[in-house]
């Protein structure tokens, strides 16, 4: 069990499921942080990862993103119980948590493999950071309202040099996150691609672009900006200096396994979370 320990509702849900587990003969394993907050016996990080097949993530999509990075490289499938706002990743409903866990215990679920981005920051032609993101990597400027210019390459081909407030490179998983707000398309997670979305482009012709699953995207800021930041899933940030290059691709070695239940598929989520089909005029026969 992985829990947003800063949210009282998530802690209450965790304690409720612990009590349910006692009655149902189900025991939960806790990594060190959750164990200390919940007052349970915990395991070390590596021991926990080696003993867990399925992790229940209690919180919102932010908690799910942190959980995905935590289990990266381990064969652990994630199921999220949403106590946040939108809940595309943490799709389970709190009021149905016990029923959902019973379905999972019976094996009545499927696994969707979500690709992750691999980003490498190069400085003076040397790799200084390697990072992985389930949703997106975003290159953006600081607080000053100044346009930045970013050279975008696919492989060795120049795609464009964009004047914009920033650039989002997203997975299909992240297509319903920041990229959607910036005007990008919705892409189901089984489609293997990357999405390049400018943020407030200072041109009329710039549009989102899809890159293939084997493409390598290189972002190189031009000019002398010294207030640039590369953010990882909107949660971790890395300073980018003039002359740095950021290479982004779909990771070949890592992915995230997400549990989906038969009663709650991706397109059902789109209809529910984006309220598609609401307010459509119905016509009665005369």
Q: Which of 45, 61, 156, 215 is catalytic?
A: 61
Please report where in the chains the tokens 């935590």 appear, as a residue.
70
Residue 171 burial (CB count, 10 A) = 27
Query: Please, which residues bridge with residue 113 across strands?
Result: 257
Q: What is the CATH number of the domain that holds 22?
A: 3.40.50.10330
Query: 8-24 and 97-105 helices cross at what angle (nearest 10)?
Result: 50
Same domain (yes/no): 72, 126: no
Same domain (yes/no): 127, 168: yes
- Give the count of domains, the chain: 2
Distance between terminal CA atoms of the chain? 56
61 catalytic? Reply is yes
Residue 152 burial (CB count, 10 A) = 21
Look over the chain and give the mean of its residue pLDDT values, rounded to a whole number: 92
Question: Which pLDDT tens digit goes with each residue over 165-200?
Answer: 999 999 999 999 999 999 999 999 999 999 999 999
CA-nearest of 26, 209, 184, 156 to 1 is 26
Question: Which pLDDT tens digit goes with each residue over 2-38?
Answer: 999 999 999 999 999 999 999 999 989 999 999 999 9
Q: Which residue range(s) make up the domain with 158?
A: 116-253
| Helical (H) or strand (E) element with 253 | strand 245-260
Is the Cβ–Cβ distance between 34 and 5 less than 8 Å?
Answer: yes
pTM summary value: 0.91
Dig out the tokens for 65 from the structure: 């993103």
Same domain (yes/no): 128, 81: no
Residue 199 counted as domain residue: yes
Instruction: List strand residue ranges (DSSP E) for 41-87, in order.
Output: 54-59, 77-82
Q: How far apart are CA 128 and CA 31, in angstroms?
A: 29
Question: Which pLDDT tens digit goes with each residue over 39-66?
Answer: 999 999 999 999 999 999 999 999 999 9
Q: What is the CATH number of the domain that holds 195?
A: 2.60.200.30
Please report where in the chains the tokens 């607080």 appear, as a residue.
143
Q: 48 in helix, strand or coil? A: helix
CA-nearest of 238, 252, 218, 253 to 128 is 238
């Amino acid at each position: 069990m992985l829990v947003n320990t800063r949210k009282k509702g998530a802690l209450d849900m965790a304690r409720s499921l612990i009590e349910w587990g006692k009655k149902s003969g189900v025991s939960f394993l806790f990594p060190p942080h959750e164990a200390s907050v919940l007052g349970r016996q915990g395991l070390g990080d590596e021991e926990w990862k080696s003993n867990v097949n399925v992790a229940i993530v209690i919180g919102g999509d932010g908690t799910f993103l942190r959980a995905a990075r935590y289990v990266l490289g381990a064969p652990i499938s994630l199921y999220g119980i949403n106590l946040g706002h939108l809940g595309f990743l943490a799709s389970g409903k709190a009021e149905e948590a016990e029923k959902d866990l019973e379905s999972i215990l019976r094996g009545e679920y499927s696994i969707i493999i979500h690709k992750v981005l691999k980003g490498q920051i190069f400085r003076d032609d040397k790799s200084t950071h390697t990072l992985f993101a389930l949703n997106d990597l975003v290159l953006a400027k600081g607080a000053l309202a100044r346009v930045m210019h970013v050279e975008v390459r696919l492989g060795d081909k120049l795609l464009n040099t964009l004047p914009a407030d920033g650039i989002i490179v997203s997975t299909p998983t992240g297509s319903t996150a920041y990229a959607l707000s910036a005007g990008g398309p919705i892409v189901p997670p089984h489609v293997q691609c990357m999405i390049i979305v400018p943020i407030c482009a200072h041109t009329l012709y710039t549009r989102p672009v899809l890159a293939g699953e084997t493409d390598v995207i290189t972002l190189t800021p031009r000019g002398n900006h010294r207030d640039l930041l590369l953010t990882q899933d909107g949660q971790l940030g890395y300073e980018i200096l003039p002359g740095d290059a950021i290479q982004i691709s779909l990771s070949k070695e890592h992915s995230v396994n997400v549990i989906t239940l038969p009663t709650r598929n991706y397109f059902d989520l789109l209809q529910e979370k984006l309220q598609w089909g609401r307010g459509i005029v119905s016509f009665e026969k005369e």
